[in-house]
């Protein structure tokens, strides 16, 4: 018997053009933290809503609890994630600027002056 094996190089698992979702004219797959915050919110909201239904046997109350949990989880994950993303983006921009300055000063008298200042401090 011959097994057919598929090489991972031959299969494009996640083509970006086919998986885009556009809401209000914006592709949400390009928004950082969008996917994770909604997946966590939906899964935790469904779980808590189901547990509330098992405990109370009241469908409307458990739906409200599940939706409230979904909103709280989504927003509770979204804001810290976006803060960390913004902070990392800012730090990367500062690092890139410092590397460009280092490339400009490399081998010049200015580099020697900066090295002397750091040695004295």
Is 113 contained in some domain? no
Please, are residues 49 and 67 in contact by the beta-carbon 8 Å criterion? yes
Show the domain range for 59: 30-90
Please indicate, yes or no, if residue 83 is contained in any of the structural domains: yes
The number of folded domains in the chain is 1
Is residue 40, in this structure, part of any structural domain at all?
yes
Report the pLDDT averaged over residues 90-98: 94
Q: What is the per-residue pLDDT across 51-91, written as a single tens digit (0 to 9) for each?
A: 999 999 999 999 999 999 999 999 999 999 999 999 999 99
Q: What are the phi and psi torsion angles at 16 (to 5°)?
A: -70, -30
In the prediction, which pLDDT does 11 show? 54
Domain membership of residue 82 (yes or no) is yes
Q: Quick check: 15 pLDDT over 60?
A: no
CA 61 to chain CA mean position, Å: 32
The reply to whether 117 falls in a domain is no
Task: Judge whether 52 lies within some domain.
Answer: yes
According to DSSP H, which parts of the chain are helical? 34-56, 59-105, 109-120
Lowest mean pLDDT, pick from 17-26, 71-80, 100-109: 17-26
**Per-residue pLDDT tens over the stretch 27-36:** 887 888 888 9
For residue 98, being part of any structural domain is answered with no
pTM reported for the whole predicted model: 0.65
- The answer to whether residue 105 sits within a structural domain is no
Q: If pLDDT is split at 50, 70 and 90, which confidence band does 12 have?
A: low
Task: Tell the residue number behind the tokens 């097994």, with chain if given.
Answer: 3
């Amino acid at each position: 018997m011959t097994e057919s094996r598929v090489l991972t190089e031959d299969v494009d698992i996640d083509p970006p053009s086919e998986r885009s979702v556009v809401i209000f004219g914006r592709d949400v797959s390009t928004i950082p933290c969008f996917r994770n915050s909604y997946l966590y919110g939906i899964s935790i909201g469904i779980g808590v809503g189901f547990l509330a239904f098992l405990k109370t046997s009241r469908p409307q109350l458990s739906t409200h609890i599940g939706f409230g949990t979904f909103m709280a989880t989504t927003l509770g994950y979204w804001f810290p994630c976006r803060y960390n993303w913004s902070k990392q983006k800012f730090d990367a921009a500062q690092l890139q600027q410092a590397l460009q300055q280092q490339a400009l000063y490399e081998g010049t008298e200015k580099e020697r002056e900066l090295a002397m200042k750091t040695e004295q401090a």
